[in-house]
Amino acid sequence: MAAGSDELPAALARHAELDLWLQVNADETLTVRTGKVEIGQGLTTALALIAAHELDVPVSAVRVETAHTGRTPNEFITAGSMSIEDSGSALRQACAHARRLLLAAAADHLGEPAGRLEIADGWISVPGGNDAVSIWVLRGGRPFSYRIETRIEERPPAVPPPRQQRIDLPAKIRGAGVFLQDLRPPELLHARVIRPPSYHHRLVSIEAAGQPPESDLAVHVDGSFVAVTGEDEYAVNRFALRLQARCRWQQQAQLAGEPLGAHSEAFAVVDGTPVEGPVAPLGFAPTLTASYSRPHIMHASLAPSAAMARWDEGALRVWTHSQGPELLKRTLAQVLGVEHRDVEVVHAPGAGAYGHNGADDVALDAALCARARPGRPVLVKWTREQEHQWEPYGPAMRVDMAARLDAGGRIADWSHEVWSYTHLGRPLPGEAGSNLLAAWLLETPIAANVAKPRLGREVGIHRNAWPLYRLPAPRVVKRFVAPGPLRTSSLRSLGAHMNVFAIECFMDELAQLAGVDPVSFRRRHLSDPRALAVLEAAVALAGGLAGNRGVGLARYKNQQAYAAVVAQVAVDEHSATVRVSDLWIAADAGRVVDPDGLINQLEGGAVQSLSWTLKEAVRFSPDAVESRDWDTYPVLRFDEVPEVATRLIDRPESRSLGAGEATQGPAAAAVANAIAAATGLRVRDMPLDADALRRAAAR
Amino acid sequence: MPAEVHRIRLPALLNLPRVLQYAPRMVAFIVNGERREVDRADEVPLAYVLRNDLALPGTRLACGLEQCGACLVLLDGECRYACTLPVGDCAGRAVTTVEGLADAERLHPVQQALLDHNAAQCGYCLSGILVRASALFEGNPHPSRDEIRAALAPQLCRCGAQPRVLRALDALSRSG
């Protein structure tokens, strides 16, 4: 058995009805359902591959339905690189049961013992025999009516796993209207919201002037929530701009918060889990200390967030690209003062989100507009500026490292202290406040929940703060800081980007001090053979670390995929700009389901991390966020993207491990280590841009 | 529980500026080889017309600022940002959108190349990249890697799919 456990996958234990997970259709297709969502990570393709493999039907016959409350299994949220581990393992086991039931039915039909039968391409037969029956004939259009109670054996993995074309790609390549933004149901109304200049501004008045036109445009005002609805999108958008210029706001406070490094709530972290109680002081005289930082960074989805809603006699239906439709359903009901059973939330694809962006907020905007114009669907799209200014950012972080080397050049003492603001600002059911933005602006507002430190294993700030290396009694301290100056929440990899950056830079700094090369120094402290294998594979793929190269290594959350990244940089002597020319990635994600999809995620994560690490910082003044568009918040462009090569270490005997966030940290560290190799300058503060290099040179 | 969102009658609140009282007139132009007429004021950006009047959603709107390239179209063969291009400027001219790249069932070579390389993640940026790449290969069937990079620099992708797009187009450049 691939997963090596007798327990049912958790999602399957919660939702044991087989018919909820899959249905064999009379039209020779197979529908599989997931409570997760497609966010560009290739989830639907991977799930189709799992179902096709387990039931031996063509991938092209599989239809994947993503999260739709009341219709698909409730899997809460698509986050933390858990979809293949959660939904994939549940679906695989559900399909194994379906396979067994189909074989039993075929045994009756064909008069052969089930043990002799096999499925191939949807046909069941005794291999080499003449009689066959298709699964479509056996079960097409009829439910299994079967409850899954025990775990049964699954098919052995395909070795090597097949290369599969993304099932959602042909339509996107042709420019089909597949995105939420493209929905055009009859009677559709478009809407724009008008936002205050900052979190801390409230509406005073809206000035009027001129002659009214004949128009279907309507303005909706509730406290400081202002929206325009109408039939023509362009007229709505134009009018919203004019209206915005006529809004008078009052500023009630400035964008300010606790700095990182002063006041904090501190927790000792033991094996990835924070524990309450006093934090031991640094109990050794360090050989080396170093402080690393990153600024606030953005999800900055390519498309501004959008949602559609329709309000019919107290019942609300919402189309969203949120990663947590089931959570959104309950939090919308809370703000709107309706029963959650009267809210239906349907996932529809948006642009890549990379965590908690504006998707949930705009769903509330749409619901408010729909309630004001009942009986018609209302599609709200944020502007670029709104997305940049109002999304919850990936929080700024700071890590202070300290270590003592023994006479033999081994790490004898280790300390890692990490400061940050909350990484968990998602709207969650059951809380007194609301983390949906428009709730704060209403005439009768619902305030945001007060952020509190989360003490789960490997969550938020302390994600990957626990070292991968075998070190004697590492001292790891999580320092939760509140409030921050900006709204923050979950951005892909959460604290791992910064913690891995700090650990892996510090390992290089220590290696240099010990007079050992970076790989040997890491090897000296590694006891996990899988970690060592990816490190060596990445270095081998790169052909060594000589020259302007650096490496970074991590196991995501210390429990998911392993990834090592080697980066090669060129640093311009005059402009001090850094260009990453090449990346080499090696990864071990256990059993590989969709190799090309996995490589795509690893590469995409690394390239996105380069953008964060080299270029990105949310700029803000006391009055407003100043990063408003792609000019004021530049990201990596095509002419700055490196060549990338990736090697997978497939382990068909091990369970599949989430990999969507595995390369963010290692790629960031690899670049900083490569810059150090190229220039001798240790740049510890992101973004690693020309200013940072000059500051490091002046130090 | 929050107050209801009020629907305020427009005359009670404010009056529309004249600019919104645009006088629609017929704009005639060619879209993907077909003559189309739309009842729109000249100033309306082409992207709105394509998406809402002509049922061509492939031209994506993503910044409205000519910064990301998701809305890229060809106007008489030249790359233009449909998010700001007034439809009036298209009168009597030929527009090609991503939907017009394929020859019926047969994909344009740049589309086939990206499909063959699974060169996308969310795919929101694809339309603009495909239009830009089609223009590049039209003028230069065998661009170098650096020429491809430079040509695509105005196109944003946030998922990090650029290395795949570059590999796909590089392979296309070397073929044939």
- pLDDT, one tens digit per residue, over A634-656 is 999 999 999 999 999 999 999 99
Burial class (CB in 10 A: 0-12, 13-18, 19+), A150: exposed
Residues 6+ apart with CB under 8 A from A546: none
Q: Which of B48, B85, B122, B162 to mutate to test the interface with A (most CBs of A within 10 A)?
A: B122
pLDDT of residue A129: 86
| Structure tokens that stand for A303 in this block | 């498309």
CA of A352, closest CA in chain B: separation in Å? 5
Q: What is the DSSP string of B84-131?
A: T-BGGGGTTSEEE-GGGTSBTTBPPHHHHHHHHTT--SS-TTHHHHHH
Cα angle B18, B24, B28 (rounded to 5 degrees) comes to 145
End-to-end CA distance of chain A: 57
Q: State the average pLDDT over residues A420-445.
A: 97
pLDDT, tens only, A116-165: 999 999 999 998 888 999 999 999 999 999 999 999 999 999 889 989 99
Q: Is the dihedral of CA A315, A320, A322, A326 positive or negative?
A: positive
CB-CB under 8 Å, B156 with A635: yes
Q: Which of A83-87, A179-183, A305-309, A613-617 has the lowest average pLDDT? A: A83-87
Which residues 316-345 of A are in CB contact (within 8 Å) with B?
335-337
Which residue among A232, A234, A303 sits closest to B62, beta carbon to beta carbon?
A303
Phi-psi group of B125: left, alpha or beta (phi > 0 → left; psi -120 to 50 → alpha; rest → beta): alpha
**How many angstroms separate the most distant Cα atoms in chain B?**
66
| Length of chain B counted residue by residue | 176
Residue A332 confidence (pLDDT) above 60: yes
3-class secondary-structure state, position A681: coil
Nearest chain A residue to B58, by CA: A175
pLDDT of residue A213: 57
Q: Are residues A676 and A564 in contact, defined by beta-carbon separation less than 8 angstroms?
A: no
End-to-end CA distance of chain B: 66
pLDDT of residue A206: 93
Phi-psi group of B144: left, alpha or beta (phi > 0 → left; psi -120 to 50 → alpha; rest → beta): beta
User: CB distance from A173 to chain B under 8 Å?
Assistant: yes
Strand B94-96 versus strand B25-31 pairing type: parallel
CB-CB under 8 Å, A225 with B121: no
3-class secondary-structure state, position A294: strand
CB-CB under 8 Å, A371 with B5: yes
User: CB distance from B143 to chain A under 8 Å?
Assistant: no
Phi-psi group of B65: left, alpha or beta (phi > 0 → left; psi -120 to 50 → alpha; rest → beta): alpha
Q: State the average pLDDT over residues B91-116.
A: 97
Of B57 and A3, the one with more pLDDT: B57
Residue B4 confidence (pLDDT) above 50: no
Residue B7 confidence (pLDDT) above 70: no
Q: State the average pLDDT over residues A194-216.
A: 80
- One-letter amino acid at A227 equals A
CB-CB under 8 Å, B51 with A219: no
User: CB distance from B159 to chain A under 8 Å?
Assistant: yes
Q: State the average pLDDT over residues B34-44.
A: 95
Nearest chain A residue to B165, by CA: A638
Residue A1 confidence (pLDDT) above 90: no
Q: Which of A164, A166, A172, A387 to mutate to test the interface with B (most CBs of B within 10 A)?
A: A172
CA of A535, closest CA in chain B: separation in Å? 22
User: CB distance from B103 to chain A under 8 Å?
Assistant: no
Q: Are residues B70 and A303 in contact, defined by beta-carbon separation less than 8 angstroms?
A: yes
Residue spans of alpha helices (H) in A111-247:
135-139, 169-173, 233-245
User: CB distance from A615 to chain B under 8 Å?
Assistant: no
pLDDT, tens only, A495-546: 999 999 999 999 999 999 999 999 999 999 999 999 999 999 999 999 999 9
Half-sphere exposure of A375 (CA within 13 A, CB side): 0
Q: What are phi and psi of A214, to 5 degrees?
A: -85, 120
Residues in a beta bridge with A295 = none
Residues in a beta bridge with A648 = A587
Q: Are residues A464 and A557 in contact, defined by beta-carbon separation less than 8 angstroms?
A: yes
pLDDT of residue A262: 83
CB-CB under 8 Å, A40 with B159: yes
pLDDT, tens only, A55-67: 999 999 999 999 9
Number of other CB atoms surrounding residue A35 within 10 Å: 29
A595-615 vs B162-174: helix axis angle to the nearest 10? 120
Q: Which of A66, A174, A231, A613 to mutate to test the interface with B (most CBs of B within 10 A)?
A: A174
Cα angle A645, A648, A652 (rounded to 5 degrees) comes to 165
pLDDT of residue A80: 87
CB-CB under 8 Å, B98 with A303: no
Q: Are residues A42 and A64 in contact, defined by beta-carbon separation less than 8 angstroms?
A: no
- One-letter amino acid at A67 equals A
pLDDT, tens only, A614-631: 999 999 999 999 999 999
Q: Are residues A550 and A556 in contact, defined by beta-carbon separation less than 8 angstroms?
A: no
| Percent share of chain A, pLDDT over 90 | 94
Please name the residue that has the structure tokens 């020779």: A28
B130 interaction partners in chain A (CB closer than 8 Å): 173, 175
Cα angle B80, B82, B85 (rounded to 5 degrees) comes to 80
Strand B6-8 versus strand A643-648 pairing type: unpaired
pLDDT level of residue A261 (50, 70, 90 thresholds): confident
User: CB distance from B80 to chain A under 8 Å?
Assistant: no
CB-CB under 8 Å, A596 with B44: no
User: CB distance from B70 to chain A under 8 Å?
Assistant: yes
User: CB distance from B64 to chain A under 8 Å?
Assistant: yes
Please name the residue that has the structure tokens 């990999």: A659
A37 interaction partners in chain B (CB closer than 8 Å): none
Which residues 100-129 of A are in CB contact (within 8 Å) with B?
none
pLDDT of residue B11: 39
CB-CB under 8 Å, A181 with B63: no
| Length of chain A counted residue by residue | 699
Which residues 25-84 of A are in CB contact (within 8 Å) with B?
39-42
pLDDT of residue A126: 92
Helix H, strand E, coil C: the string for A435-484 is: CCHHHHHCCCCCCCCCCCCCCCCCCHHHCCCCCCCCCCCCEEEEEECCCC
Residue B6 confidence (pLDDT) above 60: no
Which residue among B20, B122, B124 sits closest to A238, beta carbon to beta carbon?
B20
Q: Which of A6-10, A635-639, B5-9, B167-171 has the lowest average pLDDT? A: B5-9
Q: Are residues B98 and B127 in contact, defined by beta-carbon separation less than 8 angstroms?
A: yes
Please name the residue that has the structure tokens 């060592």: A532
pLDDT level of residue A5 (50, 70, 90 thresholds): low
Q: Are residues A581 and A570 in contact, defined by beta-carbon separation less than 8 angstroms?
A: yes
User: CB distance from B96 to chain A under 8 Å?
Assistant: no
Residue A207 confidence (pLDDT) above 80: yes
Q: State the average pLDDT over residues A582-588.
A: 98
Residues 6+ apart with CB under 8 A from A89: A3, A9, A12, A655, A656
User: CB distance from B156 to chain A under 8 Å?
Assistant: yes
CA of B161, closest CA in chain A: separation in Å? 6
A646 interaction partners in chain B (CB closer than 8 Å): none
Nearest chain A residue to B161, by CA: A604
A218 interaction partners in chain B (CB closer than 8 Å): 7-10
pLDDT level of residue B23 (50, 70, 90 thresholds): low
Residues 6+ apart with CB under 8 A from A333: A339, A340, A342, A343
Q: Are residues A309 and A318 in contact, defined by beta-carbon separation less than 8 angstroms?
A: yes
pLDDT of residue A536: 98
3-class secondary-structure state, position B72: strand
User: CB distance from B123 to chain A under 8 Å?
Assistant: yes
Residue B17 confidence (pLDDT) above 70: no
